[in-house]
Amino acid sequence: MEKLSIIKIGGNIIEDATSLAAFLTLFSNLEGKKILVHGGGKRATHVASKLGIKSKLVAGRRITDAETLEVITMVYGGLVNKNIVAKLQALNTNAIGLTGADSNSIQSEKRAVKEVDFGFVGDIKKVASNSINRLIKADFTPVFCAITHDGKGQLLNTNADTIASQVAIGMSQHYETSIYYCFELNGVLKDINDKKSVVKKINANTYQELLADGIIADGMLPKLENCFDALSNGVSKVIMGNTSILTKENDNFTTITL
């Protein structure tokens, strides 16, 4: 089975022009078929504040009201996505920038209101892997921003980590898929103050131990949940670390297996 790499980059890489340029060079040099997924929350918060729109967060998760959705659509789908696509074209990678609405590739439903009304936030229901595969077969490199749609004309803000894992699950029907979560840390750390304290391997058992010890907490929790969901549904491997995980030289990162 042919291999496909799904790479997700975090907001801190997007925000720093030097880091982004270095990452996109690594991404362009990556052999084989690939998909890029990005967010842009920090940029969206910055643009919203310039427009006098206050960002509302509950337990680190953004509340997406109608005004915020407009900003997110402009920033994720426009500013960030098209800048990345233009830079990839300059590196001879024939990228195509997408939301989940494009070619009906990722359909979601609006998150049900429980304790918190998150507004226009989508939970993924369906990935059109055949549509995405047609783009890949035509030698395009899809670049997804963190926006999906509900099939009824409504765009929805959607977690980029989840988009990466769900697209990888969908594409595992066609390819041997791997996910690379790239962020500013070297991987999952035993001690958040010690950048070198990388937990090199995590499986279902060690995951429970790390949870019990409080090593995996806060923003790492949903990330790891996405990882295990992907591995349980056909994805072959998940790697987390800084952008050098895309090179052969780096061996200091976290590999997650069942």
pLDDT of residue 223: 83
Report whether pLDDT(253) > 80: yes
Residue with tokens 């040099």: 29
C-alpha pair distances (Å), 230 with each of 30, 178, 189, 225, 256: 22, 9, 21, 9, 10
Ranking 29-43, 98-112, 237-251 by mean pLDDT, the lowest is 237-251
The model's confidence at residue 86, banded by pLDDT at 50, 70 and 90, is very high
Neighbours of 192 (CB within 10 A): 12
Output 219 or 190, whichever has higher pLDDT: 190
pLDDT of residue 122: 97
Report whether pLDDT(159) > 90: yes
Chain mean position to CA 210: 23
Task: Region of 163 please: left (phi>0), alpha (psi -120 to 50) or beta.
Answer: alpha
Domains and CATH numbers, the chain: 3-256 (3.40.1160.10)
CB 187 within 8 A of CB 252: yes
β-sheet with 254-256: strand ranges across = 95-98, 141-144, 33-38, 3-9, 176-182, 237-241, 254-256, 201-202
Phi/psi for 205 (5° steps) reads -75, -50
Q: Can you tell me the mean pLDDT for 42-71?
A: 91
Instruction: Name the average pLDDT for the chain.
Output: 94
Residue with tokens 């030289």: 249
**CA-based nearest residue to 124, from 142, 99, 95, 96:** 99
CB 141 within 8 A of CB 206: no
